[in-house]
Amino acid sequence: DGFKILLSNPIVWLCCLAFFFHVPVEAAVATWATTLMTNKGVTEERSAILLSAFWLTFLGSRLVTALTLPVGADGILVLTMAGCCILMTLGIVLSRTAGMICTMVILAGLVLGPIFPTLIAILFTHVDKALHGRAVGLFFCIGGIGWTVIPMIIGSYAERTTVQRAFLICTASATMLTILSAILLMNL
C-alpha cells in the first residue's frame, strides 16, 4: 500500500515535519509584517510597500534558488536557511527601531522563500514517482496543521503581550525547523 510505504520513509517524515515548523513562520511574517512595522512608527502606506518588497524578495529568492542551486546542495540550503530563520525571527523580536524591523521583514523574504520548494524537491527525490501525489498530500496535511495551530498560539500570546514578542514562538518553530533540517541532511 502506498501510504504504508510513505509512512515508513524517514525522509518523508522529516520533510513533512520540517514543513510543519517552516510554514507557520512564513505565515506569521506575511500576516503580521505590517503590524510589526506600524507599531514601530512606519506609515501604513510605507508598510504596504515594504510588504510588497517582502513578497518580491520571497519570490526572487525562490527563482534564484531554482536557477542556481547545485545538484546535491538542497539539504545544505534548507539547513542554512533554517538557521538564518532563527536569526531573522530573533531579529524581529529584538528590533528597537523602524529601520531594523523593516530590514528584518525584507530579509525574511530572502530566508523563507527557498525552504518550501527545496523541501518538496527533497521529498520528490526520495519517493517513487507513483507516490508523488500522496506524498504531496501528506506534506500539505502535516504542514497545514502547523500552519493552523502555531499561528493561533502566536496570536493568543500576542494578545497577552505584543506581536513582536510573540515572534519568540516563531523562533522556537525556526529552531525545530533547524533541528529537523540537520537530521534530514544527515539522512540524505
Separation of alpha carbons 158 and 95, rounded Å: 16
Q: What local confidence, expressed as pLDDT, does residue 137 receive?
A: 95
User: Rounded to two decimals, what is the model's pTM?
Assistant: 0.94
What is the model's pLDDT at position 37?
96
Q: What is the pLDDT of residue 2?
A: 84
pLDDT for res 3? 85
Task: Give the pLDDT confidence score for residue 28 in this predicted structure.
Answer: 96
Which pLDDT score, from 0 to 100, does residue 77 have? 98
Q: Which residues of the chain have pLDDT under 70?
A: none
Return the pLDDT at 35: 95
Residue 42: its pLDDT value, please?
Answer: 97
